[in-house]
């Protein structure tokens, strides 16, 4: 073997593919791009799961989970609830030494998430006198809590009150107005007003319990708070 007769191994060197050099080159006319169509065009790209231009899969699937959060619909919008039974209340009150069973105490102990609504049902027993703040109660749950010496407060948010006032042209929202316009409230239910969102108009309210934040929001707009 000499330097002047060295050659690369057979098959290791291939000639460059030369396209678009005429029909006689063997790769002319369509220049190795097949026939007409999107894939023969410059800059072609497609989305994952592309199916030739028919209706995309994401448009065929049903859409779920819409919530109308406009304050106009707050008073009637049912929302979704985290359900607690009487035995759950007894368990958490004993475990965390709660003085009241409310959204704030549940959230601070990481039992519920921010923005969750609470509903109380009557499964189990409760023997501890505790104040329970929830968005909804079953009739039997209210009866059992009252028999144990506790109290039930239906939570109404400040922006929900404002939406109710605007929708019914009320400047003062009394408990009778709430019984009339909020379908799940019964006459005699105790109302607790909690701060949420903003209060932009003058609003006078009557309720059994009003949080300090809600009170300051209402009074900042020239409204008044009457605790029953």
Q: Angle at which helices 212-220 and 158-168 pack, to 10 degrees?
A: 40
pLDDT tens-place string over residues 31-69: 888 889 888 888 888 888 888 889 988 888 888 877 666
Three-class secondary structure of residue 168 per DSSP? helix
Any idea where the domains of the chain sit in the sequence? 71-227
Half-sphere exposure of 128 (CA within 13 A, CB side): 19
- Specify the CATH class of 71-227 in words: alpha beta
Measured in Å, how far apart are the chain's first and last C-alpha atoms?
111
Reported in sequence order, the residue ranges of 141-217 that DSSP labels E, i.e. its strands, are 151-157, 172-173, 190-194, 204-207, 209-210
pLDDT at residue 12, as a whole number: 92
pTM: 0.64
Mean pLDDT by 10 residues, the chain (228 residues): 88 87 86 88 85 87 75 54 92 91 92 90 91 93 94 91 85 88 88 86 89 89 87
Two tokens, residue 95:
């475990």
């Amino acid at each position: 073997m000499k330097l002047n007769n060295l050659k690369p191994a057979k098959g290791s060197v291939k000639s460059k593919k030369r396209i678009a050099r005429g029909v006689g080159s063997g790769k002319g006319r369509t220049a190795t791009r097949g026939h007409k169509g999107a894939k023969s065009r410059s800059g072609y790209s497609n989305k994952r799961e592309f199916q030739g231009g028919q209706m995309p899969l994401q448009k065929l699937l049903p859409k779920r989970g819409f919530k109308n959060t406009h304050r106009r619909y707050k008073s009637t919008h049912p929302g979704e609830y985290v359900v607690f039974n009487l035995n759950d209340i007894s368990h958490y009150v004993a475990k965390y030494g709660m003085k009241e069973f409310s959204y704030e105490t549940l959230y601070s102990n990481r039992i519920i998430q921010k923005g969750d609504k609470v509903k109380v049902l009557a499964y189990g027993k409760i023997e501890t006198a505790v104040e329970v703040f929830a968005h909804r109660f079953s009739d039997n749950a209210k009866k059992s809590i009252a028999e144990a010496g506790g109290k039930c407060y239906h939570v109404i948010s400040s922006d929900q009150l404002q939406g109710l006032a605007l929708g019914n042209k009320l400047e003062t929202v009394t408990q009778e107005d709430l019984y009339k316009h909020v379908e799940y409230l019964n006459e005699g239910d105790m109302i607790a007003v909690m701060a949420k969102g903003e209060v932009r108009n003058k609003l006078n309210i009557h309720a059994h319990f009003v949080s300090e934040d809600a009170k300051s929001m209402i009074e900042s707009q020239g409204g008044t708070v009457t605790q029953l």
